[in-house]
Amino acid sequence: MYKYFVRPLLFNLSAERAHYFTFSLVGFLCKIGFSSLFKSLYVVNDSRLEREVFGLKFKNPVGLAAGFDKNALLYNEFSNFGFGFVEIGTLTPLPQDGNPKPRLFRLKADQAIINRMGFNNAGVFDAVDRLKKKHKVLVGGNIGKNKVTPNNEAIKDYLICFEALFDHVDYFAVNVSSPNTPGLRELQDKEPLTALLSKLKEENSKLALKRNVKEKPILLKIAPDLTDEQLLDIIEIVRETKIDGVIATNTTIARDHLKSDLVHTEEKGGLSGKPLTSRSTEVIRFLSEKSHKEFPIIGVGGIHSPEDAMAKLDAGASLVQLYTGFIYEGPALVKNINKAILQAQI
């Protein structure tokens, strides 16, 4: 029903307007009692789907990637569509509008999206107010820096977000890989990245001790555009800093073999969707094999079918996340992936 009725209606709207309309509609429908209907349609309840990863117990291994619920508005509501976890953000210390509009573009012929949103969000403290309510699903907090913060002061921004969210999220995703904040990807270089992650680990220990709780898992979200040498550096950094895992991958700045017209393909920003499927899986396999599976990987990028998800799990991912595939394929994709995982276990 989604692909034949709902998606055509949404695709008649601009991409960003469709996003906000969908948010409002999902929130409204859940508020007036449609949650049970959504659960009956999309949730697969089976203990065989449960996964314990970096000390957390996931109901199933399919999550909603960061960028969809930036401001932690509907994380509980999205659990009604069958997700085993929801990653909110990217959040920054101060509110920011992001880049000028238009900044979100559909590449229909490629089943892809280009975005240059620029960490638009209402600020971490605004999100905390909503995150205080009971969670029906595991929630990850994706954190970044404000655009106006220079890289040599970036650690301060990440620490502000980390401390603000510590009591309210189940794990952290450190975003240094978005192409839409000037200079951000420079933080993926070995020296600044090691310094950032080491400082977050130190803060993690302090906050856990102060609150008499366990430390929160810290994951690093990386770009698909890293070279093999840079990926080997990532493995070394994970080992050295002892963070808990990697999210592979963010959007790409590459524009290889696209079918859509140049008007759209030449837009600046990060590309997500089907063109990223193979590369993100390659990165997962490389990290898994070269690290000898020393740390968990969340696989994300171009998952539009159960087969795409299974390929990432087979490559070494412990969990997967959806974003663009969820937009193009609809919520049935979550259910179909979980059913395929069950079938593969038989």
pLDDT of residue 5: 92
Question: How many whole angstroms separate alpha carbon 49 and alpha carbon 36?
Answer: 21
Which among 207, 232, 233 is positioned nearest to 218, based on CA atoms? 207
Average pLDDT value for residue range 40-61: 98
- pLDDT value, residue 346: 66
Mean pLDDT, to the nearest integer, of 11-38? 97
Q: Which of 79, 177, 178, 260 is catalytic?
A: 178
Hey, what long-range contacts does 15-21 have (CB within 8 A, 24 or more apart)? 15/102, 15/104, 15/105, 15/106, 15/113, 16/101, 16/102, 16/103, 16/104, 19/104
Task: Tell me the percentage of the chain whose pLDDT exceeds 70.
Answer: 100
CA distances from 224 to 147, 197, 261 (A): 22, 20, 23
Nearest to 170 by CA among 69, 237, 88: 88
- Per residue in 93-130, pLDDT tens? 999 999 999 999 999 999 999 999 999 999 999 999 99
Domain ranges of the chain: 2-345
Topology (CATH) of 2-345: TIM Barrel (3.20.20)
Residue-wise pLDDT for 171-215, tens only, equals 999 999 999 999 999 999 999 999 999 999 999 999 999 999 999
Question: pLDDT averaged over the chain?
Answer: 97
Per-residue pLDDT reduced to its tens digit, 27-43 = 999 999 999 999 999 99
List pLDDT tens digits, range 126-183: 999 999 999 999 999 999 999 999 999 999 999 999 999 999 999 999 999 999 999 9
pLDDT at res. 295: 98
Where does the pLDDT of residue 1 fall: very low under 50, low under 70, confident under 90, or very high at 90 and above? confident
pLDDT in tens, 298-341: 999 999 999 999 999 999 999 999 999 999 999 999 999 999 99
Query: Is 178 an active-site residue?
Result: yes
